[in-house]
Structures are given as structure tokens and as C-alpha cells.
Structure 1
Amino acid sequence: MFKWLSLVTGFFYIVLGIVVIVYKFFFTIVEPAVAYPLGALIILYGLFRIYRAILKIKNSNDEE
């Protein structure tokens, strides 16, 4: 269950990163010079979580 939840959380991080880039909002209005790197960092973290979740799902299927 945790593996699938981590996968879904990764997708939410990607959506959050896109929202930060498009609307320049992250709990408060942010400048574009801050919004773009912050959004990119959040998207990269979401991709990392998805990658890690996929690896764990594949490893658990190999063990069975």
C-alpha cells in the first residue's frame, strides 16, 4: 500500500510544481525568479518519488 501511495504522492508533487510555475503561488505570491526554480525543484522531487516507487513495486513483484 505504501508503494502505491508514494506513487500517487509523486504525481501530486508534479501537479504542485506546475501550479507554482503557472500561478506563481506557494502559500503566498512569489516572484517569477523564485517561482520557476521552486516549481522545477518540486517537479524533480515528484519524479524522484515516482521513480523510487516504481523500483520498489518492481522489486516486490520479483520477490513473489
Structure 2
Amino acid sequence: MSVPTRSQIKIGAKVNIIQKQDQGSGELTQGKVERLLTKSPNHPHGIKVRLDSGEVGRVQSFDES
């Protein structure tokens, strides 16, 4: 499964991110995008974003709920 590109991620979108400390376990965190932090159009590990809760991580998928 490929990760979303920068153009697919919009401010306010519900996404699932993986935080740095959770990379080993693969635990995902859900939230709304506050800011896009990665400038390039794509990244092999996911576009880095800041959620409205202040958490930072790389987008793995869109939240389907």
C-alpha cells in the first residue's frame, strides 16, 4: 500500500499518521491536518504533517470514519 502524496492531503483532512516514537510498533494516530511540513510532492515514508492536537508524524492513510 502506497502512502498519499502531498497533493492528496488537504488542511483539515482526517488522516492516520505514524509518529517517530511509534515507528517500531506501527501504532497509528488519527487527527485533522493543521499544517503540511514536507515541501516535496512525495516522500517514501509519508508526508510529514502537524495535527490540530500538535502531534507530528508522517501520513500513512486517510481516516475512513
TM-score, normalising length: structure 2: 0.23
Higher Cα radius of gyration: 1
Greater share of strand residues, 1 or 2?
2
- Give the structure, 1 or 2, with the largest relative contact order (CA under 8 Å, sep 6 or more): 1
Greater share of helix residues, 1 or 2?
1
